[in-house]
């Protein structure tokens, strides 16, 4: 321990901070279309033609404004995942469950979401999945309950 570190004392703690935020014009269109039409929209850069999901209002590579929308998916492939083994109070699944990156067809970036209807130990990278939409309107991205395997 250095002389400087000797006076550092960390207190473990946990905060729960309820909040609301404005999803912005781009995020709002994405979320309301998902909720009202059960369609997943990406935004398409006019310069490099990359399709971003979740949509962005500016291309991170070309630095141009994006105004074109395209429907992506609904099917996609798992590009990465982890098995979550603790209860997250804001997510609808009981552990263990799978949180995955999903590359929807027609998109050039990944959407993070839950995988359901499969034993977490059987999830594989490259596995084809499709969304299961919520029966009742939900807040935000949980209008997709989870993605399930396509057999
Ligand atoms: Zn671009």
Residue spans per domain, the chain: 19-149
Q: What is the CA radius of gyration of the chain?
A: 19
**Residue 42: which of 4, 76, 18 has the closest Cα?**
76
Q: What spacing in Å lies between the alpha carbon of 106 and ligand 1's midpoint?
A: 15
Helix (H) or strand (E) holding 29: helix 24-37
Q: What spacing in Å lies between the alpha carbon of 72 and ligand 1's midpoint?
A: 17
Q: Cα dist. 95→11, 64, 98, 110, 133 in Å?
A: 28, 41, 8, 23, 20
Predicted local distance difference test score (pLDDT) of residue 23: 87
Helix (H, G, I), strand (E, B), or coil: what is residue 7? Answer: helix
Q: What spacing in Å lies between the alpha carbon of 84 and ligand 1's midpoint?
A: 34
Q: What spacing in Å lies between the alpha carbon of 46 and ligand 1's midpoint?
A: 7
Predicted local distance difference test score (pLDDT) of residue 98: 97
Predicted local distance difference test score (pLDDT) of residue 20: 84
Predicted local distance difference test score (pLDDT) of residue 107: 98
C-alpha 30/C-alpha 53 separation (Å) is 9
Q: What is the pLDDT of residues 31-87, one digit of tens each?
A: 999 999 999 999 999 999 999 999 999 999 999 999 999 999 999 999 999 999 998
Per-residue b or e along 70-102, where b marks 16 or more CB atoms closer than 10 Å to that residue's CB: eebbbebbbeebeebeeeeeeeebeeebbbbbb
Question: Token pair 């309301």 is at which residue?
Answer: 32
Q: What spacing in Å lies between the alpha carbon of 96 and ligand 1's midpoint?
A: 38
**Percent of the chain beyond pLDDT 90?**
75
């Amino acid at each position: 321990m250095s002389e400087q570190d000797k006076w550092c004392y960390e207190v473990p703690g946990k905060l729960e901070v309820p909040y609301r935020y404005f999803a912005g014009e781009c995020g709002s269109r994405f979320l309301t279309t998902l909720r009202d039409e059960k369609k997943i929209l990406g935004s398409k850069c006019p310069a490099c033609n990359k399709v971003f999901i979740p949509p962005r209002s500016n291309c991170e590579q070309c630095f141009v404004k994006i105004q074109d929308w395209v429907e992506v998916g609904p099917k996609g492939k798992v590009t990465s995942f982890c098995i979550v083994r603790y209860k997250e109070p804001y997510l609808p699944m009981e552990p263990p469950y799978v949180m995955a990156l999903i590359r929807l067809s027609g998109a050039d970036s990944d959407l993070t979401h839950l995988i359901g209807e499969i034993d977490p130990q059987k999830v594989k990278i490259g596995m084809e999945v499709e969304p299961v939409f919520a029966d009742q309107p939900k807040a935000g991205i949980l209008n997709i309950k989870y993605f399930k395997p396509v057999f």
